[in-house]
Structure 1
Amino acid sequence: MIFKHAFNRDKWSDQETNSRLTALPLEIKQKALRYKKWQDRQACIISRELLQASLQEFYGNNDDYLARVQVDRFGKPFLNEEINFSISHTEELVVCAVAKDVIGVDVEKIREVEFIDFQQFFTTQEWNEIQCSEEPKHTFYRKWTIKEAVLKADGRGLSVPLNKVAISNHSANLDGKFFHVETRFLSEDHLCAVAYQS
């Protein structure tokens, strides 16, 4: 698996934005320009740069892969049958994972949250683990990012309810399909989860 991330904290000059847009295929360029907020526009550009770099590393060449990316009926982008990738972004951070196996990635900025508003998205066991945890906020975000990563790996995204993903230690189950899961802090307040099958 190839995993890359980049921070998106500072606004680029118009010159830098235009320079980076020039390197992208027209469809991606148009998508990036539709974003009103500079953070979202830059996240779109950075995510494609990370994907291009990851695919070049995976294949060991300098080919342009971005123009070959397609989208399936659930809106999940894909390249071909031999490689999978997933992209996620949140405030200030963009992540990309590439693998031969099915893969999904999610990143969230950890902030204060009213847990009770999210109870419906967790199994009873998961909810009890959050409530009884010594660090409930971190446990909540660990489980939340895992669920989103699994849904991305599955390919159907949020068309599947989050509470259908059952988490147990370092794995998760969705409709009888098992996924390995890993979480890692990418900064003091950014948590990332990767879900994959092998």
Structure 2
Amino acid sequence: MRGYIDIHINDFDLNTALGQISEQRRQQALRFQYEHGQRTCVLAYLLLKRALKEEFGMEENPLFEYGEHGKPSIVGHPEIFFNLSHCREAVACVVSRRPVGIDVESVGRYRESVARYTMNDEEMALITNAPQPEVMFTRLWTMKEARLKLTGEGINDNMKQVLTEADRKSYTTVECLEQGYIYTVCE
């Protein structure tokens, strides 16, 4: 299992790339109103194709089916687990033979009201005592979201307890502060 990251969101020909992906993904990409959303949707799929080729030898365009809370899986390949994520600065993908989740987020302005709504007291202490609260908040947020994507639950009303319930999960967090993003893989 390894994470794949691509920061070259504007460095490819979108029309050419739309011809290299499945019709299902093309339709998903074209539903985005703005070009940036289309680009990240297409690039995430291309990154998945690369990962599937490198890790599993798959050459064909994968088709998705979706679980109860929207977690995608690859039609005809129940042995392969994957997850995609994107933000303004980067697109992320992870593939594995076990359930896995990934989240990439832009490091932005820290808002205490959002943190208080989503973080428990211990996490709030980590954030408020950090030299860069926005970095610590983003780090914890990516951990929470990667775990929820692994389980297929998605964002819910129990965000404060996500990490306390997950002590046996493995997290790998990478801070790319020069590029303005952080990502976490949870397995």
Moved over 3 A (4+): none
Which residue is equivalent to 1:4?
4
User: Secondary structure in 2 aligned to 1:158?
Assistant: coil
1:194 maps onto 2:185 in alignment: yes
Scaled by the length of structure 1, what TM-score is found? 0.85
Identity within the alignment, %: 26
CA contact (8 A) 1:8 1:39 kept: no
Match for residue 105 of structure 1 among 102, 105, 121: 102
Which residue is equivalent to 1:119?
116
Q: 1:130 to 1:187 in 2, by over 3 A?
A: closer
Query: Which structure shows the higher strand fraction?
Result: 1
CA contact (8 A) 1:54 1:98 kept: yes
Matched to 1:193, the amino acid is T
Q: 1:99 to 1:19 in 2, by over 3 A?
A: same
Q: Distance in 2 between matches of 1:116 and 1:160?
A: 15
**RMSD of the alignment, in Å?**
1.9
User: What is the total number of aligned residue pairs between the two structures?
Assistant: 184
Match for residue 75 of structure 1 among 70, 76, 89: 70
1:160 positional shift:
5.4
1:85 positional shift:
0.7
Alpha-carbon displacement from aligned partner over 1:2-36 (angstroms, at most 9, x marks no partner): 32111244375xxx322111111111111111111
CA contact (8 A) 1:11 1:38 kept: no
Specify every segment of 5 or more residues in structure 2 that has no aligned partner in the other structure, as ranges.
none
Matched to 2:4, the amino acid is K
Q: 1:99 to 1:119 in 2, by over 3 A?
A: same
